[in-house]
Structure 1
Amino acid sequence: MSRRPSELASPTVMRRMSALDSPTSISRRASGTSSRRPSIDPSRLIPIDKATQIGGTTDFNVVFIGAGNIMFGSDEGPWNHSFRFEHKLGPRLKVVALIDPAVERATAVLQKKCETFVRSAYENTRVYKTLEDFVRNMSPRETPRAIIVGSPPMFRGTLQSGRDIETQIMKCFPGVAMFIEKPSATGPASELPEAFAVAKAISESGSICSVGYMLRYLRAVQMMKQIIIENNLTVMATIARYACAYEAIAKPDWWDKSKSAGPIIEQGTHFCDLSRYFGGEVDMSTVNAHSLEWDENAGHLSKMTVDETKIPPENRIPRVTAATWKYDSGAVGSFTHLVALQGHDYSCELEVYADGYQLKLVNPYVQPILYIRRPGSDIEEAHRFPDDDPFFSEISVLIDNIEDIEEDPETATILSTFEDACKTYELTWAIRLSAERNRQAKLDADKAGAAAAKTATA
């Protein structure tokens, strides 16, 4: 997906790069008339160790917002955006600012980077507590080409001061590309309209914006898309299941709905998003869900690593949530999220059905396997995708979109826009609220039944 170094360094290409924020390019992006592919040829999604650094001689300035695990990695998972930027941009990468209120943590991660072979990307990086601090102190040569937002979701996706990072970025750096982690936000459901207002502002600005639903960039997922498109199939149903290994989840906030928004919104969001990616728009009025709660007999967990008694009962998370819905197309969707497994490995699957076809994605987070059953055969084909890195692919596509102003049709479009991410966020909230309504209805019915029985025996 990257261009040849000699081509990127040419005067013609440099002129095209300077046209990033021209009225024509902004209008084209905002109007949705992009000529780029709406999906990606799976053969173009190559492992990170086989990818060549994008060519060019000019610095590519980046601002990182957030100095935590998602940006710099941890032992808990494969997250590490800085690592992918380093491999995509090579010596062109210049991280001009790292923004995080935890200055000591930010300084520590920079020190570690400067002790490695990527020192040139970080040796002049300055740490700031806020975006405003950076704007006040930056020089023109530090103007970013992209801003990467990896701060917690409770600080983004709204129009409220302190929780409006997208709006701040567009105000301070109009036209500059953004990469924003998922989910869109984790505030109360009443703030959903604000998230969509942010999405509308981003769309109207014409700014390139990608949201971190990285599973869309899996080779297996794009192979599924390719089969559906090439065979002109209409999806009939999506069936998703996500079973997490709760023993390995030691963050108290994750177990507290008032802080994490609950496992459907914070964790299951990826599979709700994949379901929408294949099934299309959801009729929100049809969403119906039920939950197994912590205080029910089947909801007891024996190997929790947090003390749940410190969490108010009303904020404790459900152990199982099962939801169904209708898509606008008439297709049916379902999703079951379970806090049930011990150990470390999760168990996750997504099935997509169309006339004559079953596409089953297994273990997408670690070693994806795609099982395909085709018309005229009862045999399942198994396709394995070792060393696939959707985190790298989503960053690679983002940078290709920033660099390729003339919109080469072989460059894939961003697969998850902010507006699309808001629709996934809306679905996850619809599932949580439906489950809570049904739980309350059962409690009310049980209470009424007990009262009636007491009256009858009086």
Structure 2
Amino acid sequence: MSVRTAFIGAGGIASVHLSNIEASDLGDVVAICDIDPSVAESTAETHAAAAFTDAKALFEEAEFDAVIVSIPPFAHGEAERLAAKHETHLFVEKPLGLDRTPAETIDAAVTEAGVITQVGHMNRYADIVERAVELIDGRQVSLVNGHWYDGVADAAWWRKKAQSGGQVVEQSTHVFDLVRYFAGDVDELHAYGEKQVVGDRIDFEDSVVATMHHETGAVSHVATSCASPRYRTAVDVIGDGFDLQLNFNENRLTGVVNQQDVAYEGNGEKYRNELEAFLTAVSNDERSLVRSPYSDAIKTFEATLDVYEAIADKTPVEAKR
């Protein structure tokens, strides 16, 4: 079955998902919704789809099986609630919003509706991550160390914490998600942050570090900065007989497992892989294909909120979930 798919939000990452769905035989783009009429109409015309500027009208007037929500953090809420109300399968980009309570309400709603959900933590579908999981093969993880370094994003909303959530919530959430993926859920978190370099271009910390203890007994550390003149992100995973580094700039996995060198080159198709997994899950009702359902992604989201809470309070934070 080809999944009839609607889009809410047609800019930014949505263009990647649109290209991937058009290249696949798993889904058909039937409707586009964007608050900018010119964007909605031009994108809809390109994909021979219906155009909307209002999400409520989209759900009431168009017929589709799944919706892909790609909107800024401050705009989350209505689209997800409508998906739950209309029992529509939901793919939603990270972060899940700005606040804990609305996300928890949406989590409960989509769970009650019984819809398939996927959150855009695409690195779970990167082949270098898949290979690392195979090599670790269930052995005890001792330490995960990750970083996300970049400059200040161009979007005006990104520079305001009230609209983006800050860099930890909006960007390095991908690193926090991989830390959880390898080390398990967080039970305690310490964090520090300062703004030393970027100045008034942003209203949140330009450099943050977080140290976590996990329910599995593993410990982890994540460093985040938007003061860097270049983009770099990587995750190290160390444990029983292994030491692996996942370099996401180069789509490369290196390290040692059982005293054997590892060197694996990825193909960089993680966005395509996550979308195809979602569409296949919807088409065949194979929920096990989804690696980042809303009910799991909310734990990553809340961990990133905990980072800023720990910075503000200058005290450790116990995980809320």
Provide the TM-score with structure 2 as the length reference.
Answer: 0.91
Residue 82 in 1 paired to residue 18 in 2? Answer: yes
Residue 137 in 1 paired to residue 61 in 2? Answer: yes
2:69 to 132, 149, 154: 149
Aligned residue number for residue 235 of structure 1 = 141
Which is greater in Rg? 1
Aligned residue number for residue 392 of structure 1 = 272
Q: Among the aligned pairs, what percent are the same residue?
A: 24
Q: What is the CA-CA distance between 1:67 and the residue it aligns to?
A: 1.6
Q: What is the CA-CA distance between 1:217 and the residue it aligns to?
A: 0.2
Which amino acid is 2:39 matched to? R
1:374 to 257, 260, 277: 257
Which amino acid is 1:356 matched to? G
Aligned residue number for residue 225 of structure 1 = 133
Aligned equivalents of 2:228, 2:85: Cα separation in 1: 45
1:255 to 159, 162, 186: 159
Which amino acid is 2:21 matched to? F
1:264 match: secondary structure:
helix
Aligned equivalents of 2:185, 2:81: Cα separation in 1: 26
Give runs of aligned pairs for residues 30-49 of structure 1, distance below 5 A. none
Q: What is the CA-CA distance between 1:128 and the residue it aligns to?
A: 1.4
Aligned equivalents of 1:154, 1:419: Cα separation in 2: 20
Aligned equivalents of 2:221, 2:231: Cα separation in 1: 19
Residue 110 in 1 paired to residue 53 in 2? Answer: no
Aligned equivalents of 2:241, 2:29: Cα separation in 1: 50
Structure 2, unaligned stretches of length 5 or more?
Answer: 316-321
Q: What is the CA-CA distance between 1:93 and the residue it aligns to?
A: 4.5
1:63 match: secondary structure:
strand
Going by fraction, where is strand more abundant, 1 or 2? Answer: 2
Q: What is the CA-CA distance between 1:381 and the residue it aligns to?
A: 2.4
Asked if the contact 1:177/1:208 (under 8 Å) is kept, the reply is: yes
1:88 match: secondary structure:
coil
Give runs of aligned pairs for residues 32-431 of structure 1, distance below 5 A. 60-72=3-15, 80-89=16-25, 93-111=27-45, 113=46, 122-123=47-48, 125-138=49-62, 143-156=63-76, 163-172=77-86, 174=87, 176-187=88-99, 192-229=100-137, 232-246=138-152, 249-283=153-187, 286-293=188-195, 299-301=196-198, 309=200, 316-342=203-229, 345-362=230-247, 364=248, 366-376=249-259, 380-385=261-266, 387-405=267-285, 407=286, 413-431=289-307
CA deviations 1:22-76 (Å, max 9, x no partner) are xxxxxxxxxxxxxxxxxxxxxxxxxxxxxxxxxx6xx54211111212212xxxx
Which amino acid is 1:281 matched to? D
Going by fraction, where is helix more abundant, 1 or 2? Answer: 1
Asked if the contact 2:246/2:253 (under 8 Å) is kept, the reply is: yes
Aligned equivalents of 1:361, 1:267: Cα separation in 2: 17
* Matched residues, number: 315
Aligned equivalents of 1:281, 1:60: Cα separation in 2: 33
Q: What is the CA-CA distance between 1:427 and the residue it aligns to?
A: 0.4
1:382 match: secondary structure:
strand
Asked if the contact 1:397/1:412 (under 8 Å) is kept, the reply is: no
Asked if the contact 2:72/2:164 (under 8 Å) is kept, the reply is: no
Which amino acid is 1:88 matched to? S
Which amino acid is 1:186 matched to? L
Which amino acid is 2:142 matched to? M
Aligned equivalents of 1:266, 1:144: Cα separation in 2: 29
1:429 match: secondary structure:
helix
Asked if the contact 2:143/2:220 (under 8 Å) is kept, the reply is: yes
Provide the TM-score with structure 1 as the length reference.
Answer: 0.65
Asked if the contact 2:191/2:308 (under 8 Å) is kept, the reply is: yes
Give 4+ residue runs of structure 1 displaced > 4 Å after superposition: none
2:24 match: secondary structure:
helix
